[in-house]
Amino acid sequence: MLIRPATEIPSSEITDERVYVRRREFLQACGLAAVGLAASPIAVNAQAAARPRKLENVARGPFGTTEALTPYENVATYNNFYEFGTDKSSPAMTAGSLKTRPWTVKVDGECDRPADYDIDDFIKPHTLEERVYRMRCVEGWSMVIPWVGIPLGDVLKRFEPTSRAKFVEFTTLRDTRQMPGQRSSVLDWPYVEGLRLDEAMHPLTILAVGLYGAVLPNQNGAPLRLVVPWKYGFKGIKSIVRIRFVDRQPVGAWERQSSSEYGFYSNVNPQVDHPRWSQASERRLGEFFKRKTLMFNGYGDQVAGMYAGMDLRKNF
C-alpha cells in the first residue's frame, strides 16, 4: 500500500517563543539561517554520523511514503534519547558507551510463551523490511526516515498472548554506566512505554533494527526500538529489553512525569495542542518553512478506525 505524501503548504509564519528561546537548536534544525549564513544542519563529529554495517536481505515493505528522505546525517545526529543527554546533539556524541551485543529481551506477562530471548533469535525468524515513514516529534519537528525492521504484530504472535492481554508494555535498558543520562532525575528510570494490543498488532507498527539500510545507530535506539508512525516520537521507545503483556493500561515515562502534557495515546493530532505550544504545524528537519501537521501524521486511512467513537481530545 502506498501512502501518498501530503501537499506541502510553505508559509513564513512567525517564529514561536519557545523556538526563539532555543534559537541555536532551531537554526540547526532548519539547516540554514534566514540571513543567509552558511551552516551544516547539525554540527557533530564525523564518527557520530558515520554509517554502521549494512544489513543484508532487506525487502521492500508494503507501507511507506514517497516524500523526500531526511538526510542520514540529520537523522543520526539530532535525537531525543534522554538516557544519553537532554540536548539533541548529546546522544550522537555519548551513545558509543552502549554495548548492543549480547542483548536479551525478556518477554513475560499475559502470554503462553514467556522467556528471555537473545535478540538474534528474536529477529531471525522474520524478514527485514524497509519502510519509509513520516515521524513527528511532540516538540514540533519532523523527519522522513527509511526504517528497517519487522512487523511488531508478527513478533508478538509468537509469544501467544492470552485473552487477558489488553496492552503491551515496553521497557528500556537501565544501566547508568552505559547510559550516563540515567544518572540525572529528569525522568523516573527506566523508560517505559505502552500500546493497546490492537495498536501493537497493527501492520504499520514495527520493531526497528536499522535505518537507511544499515544497523541502527546507538543514538537512534539500538539494537531494537519501537516505531509507531501515527504517534508522537516519544512513544517510540528505544533500546528495548522487556516486552510485557498486561491487562491494564501502562503508564509511560513521560505520562508519569506530566500527564497533562503527555497522554497514553499520543496520536498526532493538529487539533489538540500541547499545553505549551501548538501542534497544528511542524518544521521538517532541514527545511526553514513550517508545514501543516496531518491528522494521525497522514496515516488516518490506515488507523482512524481503531479510535472510532473516542473523544480524541480527552484521550490525547
Region 2-26: what's the mean pLDDT?
Answer: 38
Burial 176-203 (b: 16+ CB within 10 A, else e): eebbbbbeeeebebbbbbbbbbebbbbe
pLDDT digits (tens, 9 = 90+) for 116-165: 999 999 899 999 999 999 999 999 999 999 999 999 999 999 999 999 99
Distance CA 171, CA 186 (A): 17
CA-to-CA dists, residue 133 to 33, 68, 85, 173, 208, angstroms:
27, 11, 25, 25, 12
Residue type, 271: Q
Q: Interior CA angle at 142 toward 136 and 146, to 5°?
A: 90
Name all domains of the chain by residue range, CATH numbers in brackets: 17-307 (3.90.420.10)
pLDDT band at 260 (very low <50, low <70, confident <90, very high): very high
Distance CA 81, CA 90 (A): 8
pLDDT band at 41 (very low <50, low <70, confident <90, very high): very low
DSSP bridge partners of 284? 142
Distance CA 121, CA 104 (A): 10
Question: Percent of the chain beyond pLDDT 70?
Answer: 84
> What is the pTM assigned to this prediction?
0.86
pLDDT band at 108 (very low <50, low <70, confident <90, very high): very high
Residue 12 grid cell: 513564513
pLDDT band at 208 (very low <50, low <70, confident <90, very high): very high
